[in-house]
Amino acid sequence: MDWNDCRDDIEGLDASAAHIANLLSSESSDVKVGIGGFSMGAAAALHSAACYAHGKFSSGTPYPITLSAVVSFSGWLPCSRTLRGKMEGSHMAARRAASLPILLSHGRADEVVPYRNGERSTEFLHSSISHDGDAGLHGGDGCRRKGEGGGERVLLT
């Protein structure tokens, strides 16, 4: 199964991202808010990041909070193929995505979410936010480190 081909439950992901945003929306505006998760929670965190970048959920409802960081452990970015078109079509989404630090960490021995799906998510994020020829935006070079057990961590800043 290709986890990045948009067979994901978009309504369910939007509901999860909305629930997370609602929990965090009561924070004071001077508090920097970050989200993270493991496995499906990581997918929800990365979907939330995409919603933040676009300024709205997939349903079109406005995304209500400002994210300062996202952390993903053993997860993947849902619907990256569909997101690519949205990112390319919106200068504001590209600018927001480029300003959001994201840490991806994934082990090679994961039996639930294949390591390759984590790699694809990293590749998509890096290629989508690393630069925008018109605006000169740079999402950073990324930092790859081998972890114990052959896993890899990638920090996109």
Widest Cα–Cα separation across the chain: 42
pLDDT at 46 over 50: yes
Q: Are 94 and 128 in contact (CB under 8 A)?
A: yes
Q: Mean pLDDT throughout 98-102?
A: 88
Helix (H) or strand (E) holding 108: none
For the sheet with 143-146, list strands across it. Answer: 33-38, 67-73, 102-106, 152-156, 143-146
Q: What percent of the chain is predicted at pLDDT more than 90?
A: 32
Tens digits of residue pLDDT in 55-67: 999 889 999 999 9
Taking all residues of the chain, what is their mean pLDDT, rounded to a whole number? 77
Q: CA–CA separation, 77 vs 58, rounded Å?
A: 14
Q: Contact, 21 vs 56, CB < 8 A? A: no
What is the distance in angstroms between the CA of the first residue and the CA of the last residue of the chain? 30
Q: Beta strands 152-156 and 102-106: pairing type? A: antiparallel
The rounded distance, in Å, linking the Cα atoms of 108 and 148 is 10
What integer pLDDT is reported at residue 73 of this predicted model? 93
pLDDT at 20: 95
Helix, strand, or coil here: 130? coil
The H or E element that residue 118 is part of is helix 115-129
pTM confidence score: 0.76
Token pair 């990045």: residue: 4
Segment holding 116, helix H or strand E: helix 115-129
Rounded to whole angstroms, how far apart are CA atoms 111 and 76?
14
Q: So what's the pLDDT on residue 34?
A: 94
Average pLDDT over residues 99-109: 87
- Rounded-to-integer distance, Cα 76 and Cα 56, Å: 20
pLDDT per residue as tens digits for the range 78-91: 877 677 666 667 78
- Among 17-21, 70-74, 134-138, the range scoring the smallest mean pLDDT is 134-138
